[in-house]
C-alpha cells in the first residue's frame, strides 16, 4: 500500500497499520468517492480488483468522514506541522 495513504489513515486511526478490516474500509471509501464523482469505469475496475478483500456494493454509505474530508483534514494537519518546524542555527538569536 502507498506510504502516504498509510500515513493519512493512521493519523485518523493509529491501529490502522495492524487493523486488517481497515483495508476493506479504505477500499469502500475510495469506491464511494469514485461513484460520487461519476467515475464508473474506475469504480468498477477497483471493485473487480479488490473482490478478494471486500465486496463493494453500490449505495452503501461508509460510516464516518468521507475520503475528501479525511484528506482535507490530513492536509491541514500537515500544513500546521510544517508551519511549526523551524531551524536553529548556531549564533542565531531567534
Would you say residue 89 lies in a domain? no
Would you say residue 58 lies in a domain? yes
N-term to C-term CA, the chain: 41
Would you say residue 90 lies in a domain? no
Cα→Cα distances 44→4, 12, 22, Å: 24, 27, 20
- Please choose, from the candidates 72, 92, 68, 88, the residue with its C-alpha nearest in 3D space to the C-alpha of residue 80: 72
Distance CA 9, CA 62 (A): 15
Residue range of the domain that includes 58: 3-84
Q: Is 90 a residue whose pLDDT tops 80?
A: no
Please, which pLDDT band fits residue 19 given cuts at 50, 70 and 90? very low
How many domains is the chain built from?
Answer: 1
Would you say residue 94 lies in a domain? no
- Taking residues 41-54, what's their average pLDDT? 90
pLDDT of residue 38: 93
Q: Is 94 a residue whose pLDDT tops 60?
A: no
CB atoms within 10 A of CB 47: 18
Q: Is 86 a residue whose pLDDT tops 60?
A: no
Tell me whether residue 28 is exposed, middle or buried, using C-beta atoms within 10 angstroms of its C-beta: 0 to 12, 13 to 18, 19 or more: buried
pLDDT of residue 4: 58
Instruction: Return the percentage of the chain with pLDDT > 90, whole number.
Output: 18
- Taking residues 22-34, what's their average pLDDT? 86
pLDDT of residue 20: 43
Distance CA 47, CA 18 (A): 23
Q: Is 85 a residue whose pLDDT tops 60?
A: no
Amino acid at each position: 500500500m502507498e506510504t502516504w495513504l498509510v500515513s493519512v489513515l493512521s493519523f485518523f486511526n493509529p491501529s490502522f497499520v495492524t487493523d486488517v478490516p481497515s483495508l476493506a474500509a479504505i477500499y469502500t471509501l475510495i469506491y464511494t468517492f469514485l461513484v460520487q464523482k461519476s467515475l464508473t469505469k474506475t469504480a468498477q475496475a477497483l471493485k473487480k480488483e479488490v473482490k478478494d478483500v471486500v465486496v463493494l456494493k453500490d449505495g452503501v454509505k461508509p460510516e464516518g468522514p468521507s475520503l475528501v474530508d479525511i484528506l482535507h483534514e490530513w492536509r491541514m494537519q500537515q500544513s500546521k506541522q510544517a508551519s511549526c518546524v523551524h531551524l536553529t542555527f548556531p549564533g542565531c538569536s531567534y
